Amino acid sequence: MLTHPEIMGVDALAAKIRKIPDWPQKGILFHDITPILQSPQYFRLLVDLLVYRYMDQKIDVVAGLDARGFIIGAALAYQLNVGFVPIRKKGKLPFTTIAESYALEYGQATIEMHTDAVKAGTRVLLVDDLVATGGTMTAGISLIHKLGAEIVEAAAIIEFTDLPGGQQIRDKGVPLFTLYKNSGSIEP
């Protein structure tokens, strides 16, 4: 039984990602991280790999993008002993918010963040499950910057190298760390 990051590698984690063709619409090859989350060993591996990367980075808060970024980000914030900030889809936060609209691989969306979620100078780690077109992550970056916080790094499990998202994030001056890079996010 494999139980430690030293034994289980990123390749083993990547092998647990389920690929679902034509979801949420025809032509999209959806990368589902649910099998990672369902496995105590693989979920621990995912969180541990990220904890090891960030434990000495002086992170003040982890911001997670709706919705899978909440799962990863909250577990990571707990292990790093820092706060967690949700960046949610429009209309889901109860307090005063700021908003940012963006395009994603199959439509338009808007995300929001509480106006008191971070303060100027706060060191933020921004987390999501994957980077495809980069719309969600770049919108999150804009929200955090509007409040004057510093993004130490953006992190995700997967970066699709055949889509422009990773480069768009880097072009905004934000370092991007992903555990796994993959081309083929869209079916041929």
pLDDT tens digits, residue range 79-119?
999 999 999 999 999 999 999 999 865 679 999 999 999 99
Residue 76 has φ and ψ, to the nearest 5°, of -65, -45
Task: Name the catalytic one among 105, 112, 153, 159.
Answer: 105
Residue pLDDT, tens place only, 126-153:
999 999 889 999 999 999 999 999 999 9
Q: For residue 53, what pLDDT band results from cuts at 50, 70 and 90? A: very high
pTM above 0.85, yes or no: yes
pLDDT of residue 2: 40
Give me the catalytic one of 68, 88, 153, 159.
68
For a pLDDT cut of 90, what percent of the chain falls above it? 80
DSSP 71-100: HHHHHHHHHHT-EEEEEEETT--SS-EEEE
pLDDT tops 50 at residue 5: no
Q: Indicate the range of 1-5, 59-63, 99-103, 138-142 predicted with least confidence.
A: 1-5
Verify whether residue 44 is a known catalytic residue.
no
Arithmetic mean of pLDDT over the chain: 91
- For residue range 36-45, what is the model confidence (pLDDT) as tens digits? 999 999 999 9
Q: Is 112 a catalytic residue?
A: no
Residue type, 104: L
Q: Is 20 left (phi over 0), alpha (psi -120 to 50) or beta?
A: beta
What's the average model confidence in pLDDT over 67-79? 97
